[in-house]
Amino acid sequence: MPYVLKEVPENGEATTLGEPVHDIIVAKVIASRRAVRTNRVTVVTDSATGQELARFDPTVPAPKTSVTRMRADALPAKTESDSGISIKKSG
């Protein structure tokens, strides 16, 4: 499904940016970087429905949580008995 990037000025109509992007993660990264670079609100919309899927506003500070911290929170905690080594019995 293609995703369209649009730049939203403070007043006026949104401007479509380039060609549709076929990966939502790539579309979000491009929109985020563009918002910071141009200091303008950039949105990602579904080209089929026109629904706004993500909005990047450079005036709103990003959360202080890092990707590393989010990944650590998502992983199950290891215990002392879980060394990460598995022993396969033979025979």
Tokens for 90? 């033979």
3 burial via Cβ count (<10 Å: 0-12, 13-18, 19+) = buried
Task: Spell out, as residue ranges, where the chain has pLDDT lower than 50.
Answer: none
Query: What is residue 9's predicted lDDT score, i.e. its pLDDT?
Result: 86
Q: Give the helix ranges, DSSP H, for the chain.
A: 24-38, 67-74
Tokens for 48? 């089929």
Residue 9 dihedral angles phi and psi, to the nearest 5°: -75, 165
Query: What is residue 80's predicted lDDT score, i.e. its pLDDT?
Result: 56
Query: What is residue 84's predicted lDDT score, i.e. its pLDDT?
Result: 57
Query: What is residue 22's predicted lDDT score, i.e. its pLDDT?
Result: 92
Query: What is residue 68's predicted lDDT score, i.e. its pLDDT?
Result: 59
Spatial distance between the Cα atoms of 86 and 41, rounded to a whole number of angstroms: 50
Query: What is residue 10's predicted lDDT score, i.e. its pLDDT?
Result: 82
Query: What is residue 48's predicted lDDT score, i.e. its pLDDT?
Result: 92
Query: What is residue 26's predicted lDDT score, i.e. its pLDDT?
Result: 92
